[in-house]
Amino acid sequence: MGEPSNRTIVVVQLSGGNDYLNCVVPYQDPLYYDNRKNVRISEDAVIPIDNGYGLNPAMQPIKELYDAGKVAIVHGLGYPVPNRSHFRSMDIWHTAEPTKVGDEGWLGNAINQMHPDGENVVAAVNFGAGLPRALAAKGAPVASVTDIETYGLMNHLEAGEQRDAALDVFKRMYTQAIGSGPVMDYLSQTGLDALRGSEILGTVSKKYSSDIEYATDSFAKSMKGAAQVLQADIGTRICYTQHGSFDGHTNGLALQDALWREVSGGIHDFYTDMKAHDQSEDVLILVFSEFGRRVGDNGNGTDHGSGGVAFLIGDGVQAGHHGEYPSLAANDLIEGDLAFNLDFRSIYTEILEDWLEVDAKPVVKAEYEKVGFLSKV
């Protein structure tokens, strides 16, 4: 792995609730077919990996990275007293606070530890509209871009107009939860930092050269943008993007297939791009979703569940399976859902302490055993 000060992370949020069972498919377990009468991946369509598991057929590019020893699959993720609300469950993941509404994001805290003076206004870059709570913390500068090719900051409207609109969305979402004072303080500083960050990000695409032909979908554009920013060496340590919605209540198979084709292709191209520029040792990709889906299908899709999976991708991972795939036996389920067996804050602890080399305690508030998905230096 590269030097700690050079290490970066790209976080990919699968919004809406990725279907764990149809993502990493337990295709040799009869209970999978017993529970999934309709919304299931047939055994002949699964991409086999090992241990009786296979990947969704849309994930062939991830399989290639897995075979190359670049993918760690972390099973059975969740938190005590699962919540099936998209907003609340995602907020729990963003703030690492399952029992109360948190007032800062887990990555926002990391930014402040890495850059306590707040002077690096591009320490973190979000690709997409809005400001993810994971990046939010008082004093933590975050830049936000939609399409870096057409110039930096929140560019699909006039910069000032879109910035104001995005900040207004944040204000309306969180003022009721954490109070107007903290929200307004954060927004005023964020607006200034975003303007400063746009000037730096506006130079990035001019410095970029690559033979990789990314797809034209929004996720591919975000991953290409992350490659451009990280290769420009402007001091960015964290890139964040999201894709979805994976909320497959209806037409679940087709929805997941289309989205995972985009996600898999974008991640594969990004890794290949970074590898070609001799920077793959320094980057870690985290792919997560706020929850999984229910074990049984609803005939055409799946409803909100618990228990999920995450992927850690890069040269620095200990490839293979980590944690235990939750049991599908009826007496092991929680109200029809997979029972989590690994707290997601274990992942955060390992990333923060062993990859970014900052203190995890202010984020996770307790001791969590590390998973072991990072290779030992």
Concatenating the DSSP letter of every residue in 60-128 gives: HHHHHHHHTT-EEEEEEEE-SS----HHHHHHHHHHT-SSS--SS-HHHHHHHHH-TT---TTSEEEES
Topology at the third CATH level for domain 4-364 = Alkaline Phosphatase, subunit A (3.40.720)
For 186-341, strand residue ranges (E) read 238-243, 283-289, 308-313, 320-322
The DSSP symbol for 353 reads: I
d(CA 303, CA 338): 13
Identity at 37, one-letter amino acid code? K
In this prediction, residue 155 carries a pLDDT of 42
Quote the percentage of the chain above a pLDDT of 90: 75
Is the model's pLDDT at 312 over the cut of 70?
A: yes
Is the model's pLDDT at 79 over the cut of 70?
A: yes
The domain limits of the chain are 4-364
Q: What is the mean pLDDT of residues 57-75?
A: 98
Q: How many CB atoms lie within 10 A of CB 167?
A: 22
CB–CB of 371/346 below 8 Å?
yes
Cα dihedral 4/240/261/259 (nearest 10): 150
Element holding 174 (H helix, E strand): helix 159-178
Q: What is the mean pLDDT of residues 94-104?
A: 93
Residue 146: which pLDDT band, with cuts at 50, 70 and 90? confident
d(CA 111, CA 172): 24
In this prediction, residue 154 carries a pLDDT of 44
Q: What token pair was written down for 39?
A: 């919304």
Cα dihedral 267/272/277/280 (nearest 10): 60
Q: pLDDT digits over 347-361, tens only?
A: 999 999 999 999 999
d(CA 89, CA 344): 12
